[in-house]
């Protein structure tokens, strides 16, 4: 009987551990203003980092977001996750280097931020960028990013540099919170 109770307890505890959710820190927390540090290749491949990546993806999905940077979960690391479409797989971006492709211009983007709940702000984003980074396996990736992926990438990249969307708005557009922006993507 004791064995059955122990097995039942283990079955109840294991799923709870597998559903671990990270806390998203809010505007005003000092980690959000720090420049995050790079990860070494051995850190990227470590079981602890792989768990953090999985937990970040889970947290992003649970929070209804399309992107989440490590500083938003109080980890000052150059790492973010994103999911740019309904049928796309979550992507992991580590130690990104971004070059903005100015020749393709900029566009307005209405964005929400998981660290600034209840606010949707209009900011300017580059339409395309060149990004070099490591994926979750530590493999080097170089690509041109455009469309919604470019917007998410810029938002999350800003988090890695201690920049928030409130820093990017014009004084005249400060804290736009119109009903038309209620469904702005959360990043």
- Catalytic residue ranges: 156
Beta carbons of 21 and 56 less than 8 angstroms apart = no
Alpha helix (H) ranges present in the chain? 2-18, 41-45, 47-62, 147-160
DSSP reduced 3-state for 8: helix
Question: What is the rounded distance in angstroms from the CA atom of residue 51 to the CA atom of residue 39?
Answer: 15
Phi, psi of 71 (to 5 degrees): -60, -25
Question: What is the rounded distance in angstroms from the CA atom of residue 41 to the CA atom of residue 86?
Answer: 30
Provide the pairing of β-strand 91-100 with 106-113: unpaired
Residue 33: partners with Cβ closer than 8 Å, 6 or more residues away: 162
């Amino acid at each position: 009987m004791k064995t059955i109770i122990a097995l039942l307890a283990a079955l109840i505890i294991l799923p709870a551990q597998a559903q671990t959710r990270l806390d998203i820190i809010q505007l005003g927390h000092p980690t959000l203003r720090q420049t995050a540090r790079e990860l070494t290749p051995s850190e990227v491949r470590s079981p602890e980092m792989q768990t953090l990546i999985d937990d970040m993806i889970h947290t992003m999905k649970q929070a209804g977001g399309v992107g989440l940077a490590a500083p938003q979960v109080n980890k000052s690391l150059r790492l973010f996750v994103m999911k740019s479409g309904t049928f796309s797989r979550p992507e992991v971006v580590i130690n990104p280097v971004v070059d903005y492709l100015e020749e393709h211009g900029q566009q307005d983007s209405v964005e929400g931020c998981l660290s600034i709940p209840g606010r949707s702000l209009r900011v300017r984003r580059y339409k395309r960028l060149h990004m070099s980074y490591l994926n979750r396996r530590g493999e080097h990736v170089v690509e041109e990013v455009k469309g919604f992926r470019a917007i998410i990438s810029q938002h999350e990249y800003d988090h890695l540099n201690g920049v928030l969307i409130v820093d990017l708005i014009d004084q005249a557009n400060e804290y736009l919170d119109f009903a038309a922006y209620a469904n702005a993507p959360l990043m």
